[in-house]
Amino acid sequence: MSTITKETDLKVHEDGELVEGNPTFASVTADISRAPEAGTPKLWFVAFGAALSLMGLGLTLIGYLFWEGTGIWGIQNPAGWGWAIINFVWWVGIGHAGTLISAILFLFRQRWRTAINRFAEAMTIFAVICALVFPGIHVGRVWVAYFMFPLPNQMGMWPNFRSPLLWDVFAVGTYFTVSLLFWYVGLIPDLATFRDRAKTKIKKAALAVFSLGWRGGNRQWQHYERAYLILAGLSTPLVLSVHSVVSFDFAVSLIPGWHTTIFPPYFVAGAIFSGFAMVMTLALIARKIYGLEHIITMRHLENMNKIMLLTGMMVGYAYSCEFFVAWYSGNLYEKAIFINRAIGPYAWAYWTMIFCNVVVPQIFWSRKMRRNIPVMFVASILINVGMWFERFVIVITSLSQDFLPSSWDYFSPTFFDVGIYLGTFGIFFTFFLLFLRFLPMVAIAEIKGVLPQADPHYYEHNGHH
């Protein structure tokens, strides 16, 4: 009995920091439901208008791209891949943290994930939607984009299964499907809570459909937990596989600077790094606006900063490995491309990448900095800038100076490159703001599970019967 009491003591002490202010089950429901149920703040409408405008710009430019062709981009010989592939890889990377926080931390029983997993999963889905824009539009002949799917075309031929572009569609499509299911299954108990609190008949009817008749019975919880565990198990290998497959776009080629086996683990570490940075940026804004500082606590933010420090060091190690391999291989072309990255025409991009991805995360060695909101906000933005430049350096430096000096050229983006990239931000934030407005941004049922009251021995320990 004393052992149980000690364990309960320890659990209450550990989880006390996960939700501050000693809330009750009812107050947690009320706090998280407040954002979708209360009147929409004016700031939301301003942000939504800006996001819609950016999305409109992006879609208009994509329409013009279809009309005019990819010549309106900055791509030229030899850099046949420009911003489209950079943005594709960057957005897939952003989408990594959600599934990692939800699936891997769930399997490792990390209870601190509960406050951040819901909007990290939502962010994953919206980021992957943004990423999927690019394979479709950068193929040039958009009307044959269906060649990327395993469908026989009108000439009776099959798509080329040896093309990394096809592997991308398989990997990212699978990742999107499983992430969407995982997110939706996790939402079901909370949708039922919203259904029971709904004031209008239309809202109640819509939520009743999406909550699939959830009543919170014992059998329903058993099935729910089993389904959630299976989806977490499916998602975990996908976190590792999807960015490995994306890295094969580069690694299976013979271009200097790409043809290397370090790419899969290096891309996965970078993806987790940039994904956590984006979760941090959005979490800091959302918790402040919606007054959820007692649910998304400093402990959650500090743990995320520790993960960014770890993955940042892994990425830095990969950068140094690349230089070592280029030197040790004795390959003149490989050596030349890495020297060119550091001191050539794109040195500005290379050193921006090094500063943002390797130097900036080192600030998190200090506990004071790990717990400083302005510092972590600026660092999270700089890290994502650095990760975009990493993709820029990989794609552009290798392509613009290939084996033939006679075809070397300097790549410069055009207005259309920049506009379509900004348009994907519009798509991302339009979806994200709608999510904040209509759905619980924190998992209500899971937060209740880490409250001290959820412990079976809590009442017995506190003298209640």
Instruction: List the pLDDT tens digit at each of the 465 positions of the chain.
Output: 333 333 333 344 444 466 666 767 677 777 777 767 666 778 888 888 999 999 999 999 988 888 888 788 877 777 778 888 889 889 988 888 778 778 887 787 777 777 788 888 888 899 989 988 888 788 777 787 777 776 666 666 667 777 787 888 888 888 888 888 888 888 888 888 878 777 778 877 887 888 788 887 788 888 888 888 888 888 888 888 888 888 888 888 888 888 888 888 888 888 888 888 998 898 888 888 777 777 788 888 888 899 889 989 999 999 898 888 888 888 888 888 888 888 888 899 999 999 999 999 999 898 888 888 899 899 999 999 999 999 899 888 888 877 777 777 888 888 888 899 999 999 999 998 888 888 888 877 777 776 766 666 655 556 555
Give the chain's domain count.
1
> Please, are residues 437 and 45 in contact by the beta-carbon 8 Å criterion?
no
pLDDT of residue 379: 92
In a domain, residue 457? The reply is no
In a domain, residue 5? The reply is no
In a domain, residue 456? The reply is no
What is the pTM assigned to this prediction? Answer: 0.86
In a domain, residue 2? The reply is no
In a domain, residue 10? The reply is no
Nearest to 189 by CA among 440, 18, 455: 440
pLDDT of residue 157: 65
CATH number at residue 45: 1.20.1630.10
> Please, are residues 274 and 93 in contact by the beta-carbon 8 Å criterion?
yes
Domain limits for position 321:
19-449
In a domain, residue 261? The reply is yes
> Please, are residues 185 and 231 in contact by the beta-carbon 8 Å criterion?
yes
Q: Look up residue 109 and give its amino acid.
A: R
In a domain, residue 7? The reply is no
Helices and strands (H and E) in the chain: how many: 20, 0
Please state, in angstroms and rounded to a whole number, the distance separating the CA atoms of residues 417 and 422: 9
In a domain, residue 235? The reply is yes
Place of tokens 């909370």: 190
Please state, in angstroms and rounded to a whole number, the distance separating the CA atoms of residues 17 and 297: 7
